[in-house]
A = this chain, B = another copy of it.
Amino acid sequence: MQAEAERNLAGISLFEGLDETARRRLEGRCHWRRCGPGEMVLERGSESQEVLFIVQGTVNIVNFSVSGREVAYATLGAGESFGELAAIDGQPRSASVVAKENTLLASLPSTEFLNLLQEQVGVTFKVLQNLTSMVRSGDIRIMELSTVAATQRVYAEILRMATPDTAVHGLWVIHPLPPLREIASRVSTTRETVARALGQFYPTGLLRRKGRSLYIMDRAKFEEKLAALKADGGGHHHV
């Protein structure tokens, strides 16, 4: 049995506006579930409709093609929720969810979730905002897939993943750097293409790898170089 202290929804951002008693009540309605790394939490196409909350840990929202290729939609961490789609429209799950680490989940039956929406406008509004941001990021991704070449998508993702170093100006870091296969699945390409894209930059010194860290030595120069590359590659001359 888990320690009772862990089983609370205080950290879930959807419930930020709720008072103590309402939250306690919800905690009572949840089922609790622990998942190990690599374990599948939810499977695309299944008929369940609960909404899930990540109390602790991280999960990946993904999908697999018939040929086994993996497409990643998002990575969610503690405090975030998923599974609202099925609860709202009653359709089968649109994607699969896989735990990345040891993860503690709370799951709320869809009926309870829908009741909550009726009673708590604040929660409803948060849900609206979450859905909105999903639509927006999906649209951006579609745009990228439609108009940006694979190699460039890799660079774009690298920039999205990086966080600025607190000390050195212009230095950005990705840590820990996930396996290249994971980056590949986020921008819909292959591990090899990601490796080649990064490899192309190591000689310039603008990109440097040390263990599980990737350093962008000077973000401004890096982006500059990217623009130059794009200009070369984009121009299609016919002799």
Seen from chain A, the residues whose Cβ lies within 8 Å of a Cβ on chain B are 63, 65-67, 69, 71, 73, 84-85, 88-89, 91, 94-95, 117-118, 121, 124-125, 127-129, 131-136, 138-143, 145-147, 188, 234
- What's the minimum C-beta distance from A2 to chain B, rounded to whole angstroms? 32
Say yes or no: A135-B131 contact (C-beta < 8 A), given A67-B234, A124-B124, A234-B67. Answer: yes
- What's the minimum C-beta distance from A68 to chain B, rounded to whole angstroms? 10
Tell me whether A147 and B85 are in contact (CB under 8 A). Answer: no
Tell me whether B138 and A71 are in contact (CB under 8 A). Answer: no
How many angstroms between the C-alpha atoms of A237 and B1 in the bound complex? 52
Please indicate the chain B residues that have their CB under 8 angstroms from the CB of A66 in the complex: 147
How many angstroms between the C-alpha atoms of A128 and B125 in the bound complex? 10
Please indicate the chain B residues that have their CB under 8 angstroms from the CB of A67 in the complex: 147, 234
Tell me whether A142 and B145 are in contact (CB under 8 A). Answer: yes
Residue of B with least CB distance to A137: B138
Tell me whether A136 and B85 are in contact (CB under 8 A). Answer: yes
Tell me whether A128 and B131 are in contact (CB under 8 A). Answer: yes
Tell me whether A142 and B141 are in contact (CB under 8 A). Answer: yes
How many angstroms between the C-alpha atoms of A74 and B115 in the bound complex? 32
Say yes or no: A89-B142 contact (C-beta < 8 A), given A65-B147, A67-B234. Answer: no
Tell me whether B129 and A71 are in contact (CB under 8 A). Answer: no
12 A-B residue pairs with Cβ-Cβ distance under 8 Å, sorted by A, are A67-B234, A69-B147, A73-B139, A84-B132, A91-B136, A94-B139, A117-B121, A118-B121, A138-B139, A138-B142, A145-B146, A146-B188
Residue of B with least CB distance to A119: B121
Tell me whether A88 and B129 are in contact (CB under 8 A). Answer: yes
Please indicate the chain B residues that have their CB under 8 angstroms from the CB of A139 in the complex: 63, 73, 94-95, 138
How many angstroms between the C-alpha atoms of A125 and B87 in the bound complex? 12
How many angstroms between the C-alpha atoms of A155 and B132 in the bound complex? 30
Tell me whether A71 and B128 are in contact (CB under 8 A). Answer: no
Tell me whether B136 and A135 are in contact (CB under 8 A). Answer: no
